[in-house]
Amino acid sequence: MKRRTRSILTGTLAIIASVIVFLVPFTFILMTASKTRQESAALQFSWPEQFALFENIVEVIQTRDFMLITAFINSTVLTVASVTLMVLFSAMVGWVLQRRQSRWNPAINLMVLAGLIIPPAVVPTIWVLQGLELFGTLPGLILIEVTFGLSFSVLMFRAFIAAIPRELDEAATIDGAGPIRLFFQVAFPLLRSVIVTVIVVQAVFVFNDFQNPLYFLPGDENATVQLTLYNFQSQFDTQWNLLFTNILLITIPPLVMYIFFQRQIVAGMTSGAVKG
């Protein structure tokens, strides 16, 4: 009985500690974003005396000719386009890689792992993009995000496809389906759950990406939402309320994703935990 009380006590303490450690920073963002400029300058963890969240939002949006709106459009185009291509291309690779045993499979598997491990070489990538006249353009950055996201997505698809029985392929083949119909009309619908997982996980990654837009898409008119934070920093250095309102605004899309797709995100990010 005594041991039981003690374990409840440690449990409660651990819960309180983790709530403090993980929720205080978010509360701080919310509180600072709601303060007036003078009050936020004190950097204190306190309830705002004057609630100015809506004024701050309006002001952040209007800054620098509605740069945040442009950035949200850029980020949305970037995320949607790159995730679409990523899903399509990596599902095709995962499908053939899992189904067809060729002597190239070990080499392709090695490439997939290499793409996962090796950090991309920045300046030479810019050099290639310049050669293709894609440097500093949104399409260029989209292709970059697709390339860097392929490996992870292929691994997810391959693992999932392994669980789809081959009998389905055979039945479809007997019914006269060619490779394209087999993949798009038979396999693709069966992949639905893993497709959702890949979409959600990669969308969050691409949306939050800071390094690649910084390198491959310079320029204010091209800014993605993560770069607005970076570009506003000097401007807002004395206006913490606006900086934190900006943080708050760009956190909303991932938050919404998380609320609706919690299960898929968790499944995607923890896949491989049990199998290794």
Given the complex with another protein, which of 7 and 62 has the nearer CB atom? 7
Minimum CB–partner distance for residue 195 and another protein (Å): 16
Torsion sign, CA atoms 232, 235, 240, 242: negative
Minimum CB–partner distance for residue 99 and another protein (Å): 5
Alpha-carbon dihedral 264, 267, 270, 273, rounded to 10 degrees: -170
DSSP 118: S
Minimum CB–partner distance for residue 123 and another protein (Å): 5
3-state secondary structure 33-48: HCCCHHHHCCCCCCCC
Minimum CB–partner distance for residue 59 and another protein (Å): 18
Q: Which two tokens stand for residue 117?
A: 């491990």
**Side-chain half-sphere exposure of 161, counting CA atoms within 13 A:** 23
Given the complex with another protein, which of 59 and 115 has the nearer CB atom? 115
Given the complex with another protein, which of 52 and 227 has the nearer CB atom? 227
Given the complex with another protein, which of 221 and 237 has the nearer CB atom? 237
Q: Which two tokens stand for residue 12?
A: 């409660």
